[in-house]
Structure 1
Amino acid sequence: MISAVNATGGSSVLALDLAKAYSDGGYAIALDRDFKTPGDSDSQPNVSILRIFEDGKELGPAHSLHRNIRNTGKGMFSHWGNTLYFSTSDNSNPQTNGRKYTYSIGNTVAALPMPSEGADSPVSNSTIIGYASVDGKTTGGKGGRTVTVSSFSDLKKAVADYNPLIIQVSGNIKGTGYINVRSNKTITGLRGSSLEGVSLLIYGESNVIIRNMTIRKVVGYSNIIIKEKAHHIWVDHCDLSSDRNHGWEYYDGLLDVGKKADYVTISWNKFHDNHVACLIGWNSADYDNLRVTMYNNHFYNISERSPDMRYGHVHYFNNYNENNNGYSISALEKGTVRTDNNYFSNCNKPITTTYNGYTAGYISGAATNVYVNSGKNNLTTNESKWLPPYEYKSALIPASSVPAVVSKGAGATL
Structure 2
Amino acid sequence: MRTYPPRTRSRRAVLTGAASVALAVAAGLALPQPAGAAETAPVGFGAGTTGGGSTGAVTVSTLAAFKSAVTGGSAKVVKVSGLIALSGQVDVGSNTTIVGVGPSSGFTGGGLRLKKVSNVVVRNLNISKAVKTDAITVQASTKVWIDHNTLSSDRDHGKDYYDGLVDITHGSDYVTVSWNTFKDHWKGSLVGHSDNNASEDTGHLHVTYHHNYFSDVNSRIPSLRFGTGHFYNNYVVGAETAVHSRMGAQMLVENNVFRNTQVAVTTDHDSDVDGYANMTGNDLGGAATEVSRVGTFTKPPYSYSAEPASSVAASVTSGAGAGRL
Structure 1 length-normalised TM: 0.68
1:409 Cα offset (Å) = 0.2
Question: Could you say which residue in structure 1 is the equivalent of 2:219?
Answer: 304
> What's the offset of the Cα at 1:132?
1.2
Q: Is the 8 A contact 1:144 1:163 kept in 2?
A: no
The partner residue of 1:352 within 243, 266, 286 is 266
| Match of residue 289, structure 1, among 182, 188, 204 | 204
**Displacement after TM superposition at 1:410 (Å):** 0.1
Q: How many residues align?
A: 298
Cα RMSD over matched residues?
Answer: 2.1
1:26-105 map, 5 Å: 51-52=30-31, 58-60=33-35, 89=38
Q: Does the CA-based 8 Å contact 2:114-2:137 persist in structure 1?
A: yes
In the alignment, the residues of structure 1 paired with residue 208 and residue 231 of structure 2 have an alpha-carbon distance, to the nearest angstrom, of: 6
Kindly indicate whether residue 309 of structure 2 is the aligned counterpart of residue 411 of structure 1: no
Q: Distance in 2 between matches of 1:403 and 1:147?
A: 36
**Contact 2:63–2:86 (CA<8 Å) still a contact in 1?**
yes
Displacement of 1:385? 4.2
8 A contact 2:250–2:295 mirrored in 1: no
Structure 2 unmatched runs, 5+: 1-21
Instruction: Give the whole-Å Cα distance in 1 for the aligned partners of 2:216 and 2:34.
Output: 28
8 Å CA contact 2:241–2:262 kept in 1: the answer is: yes
Query: Is 1:328 aligned to residue 238 of structure 2?
Result: no
- Partner Cα separation in structure 1 for residue 46 and residue 280 of structure 2: 27
1:370-381, aligned counterparts within 5 Å?
370-372=283-285, 374-381=286-293
Q: 2:253 aligns with which of 339, 342, 345?
A: 339
* Counterpart Cα distance in 1 of 2:177 and 2:143: 11
Paired residue secondary structure (1:155): helix
User: Does the Cα contact within 8 Å between 1:342 and 1:399 map onto a contact in 2?
Assistant: yes
Shift of 1:145: 3.0
- Letter of the 1:215 counterpart: I
Corresponding position of 1:391: 303
Letter in 2 for 1:159: V
Q: For 1:405 and 1:385, how far apart are their aligned partners in 2?
A: 26
Match of 1:270 among 177, 181, 189: 181
Whole-Å separation in 2 of the counterparts to 1:127 and 1:161: 23
1:121 corresponding residue in structure 2: none
1:198-218, CA deviations, whole angstroms, 9 ceiling, x for partnerless residues? Answer: 210000101100000100100
Return the alpha-carbon distance in structure 1 between the equivalents of residues 219 and 101 of structure 2: 30
Give the AA of the match of 1:146: A
State which structure, 1 or 2, has the greater radius of gyration over its C-alpha atoms.
1
Higher relative contact order structure (alpha carbons within 8 Å, sequence separation ≥ 6): 2
Deviation track 1:113-147 (CA, whole Å, cap 9, x = no partner) reads xxxxxxxxxxxx523211112xxx21111132311
CA apart distance, 1:402? 0.7
Kindly indicate whether the alpha-carbon contact (under 8 Å) linking 1:145 and 1:164 is maintained by their aligned counterparts in 2.
no
Number of the residue aligned with 2:43: 129
In the other structure, the counterpart of 1:167 is 78
Q: Please tell me whether the aligned partners of residues 51 and 59 of structure 1 are also in contact (alpha carbons under 8 angstroms).
A: no
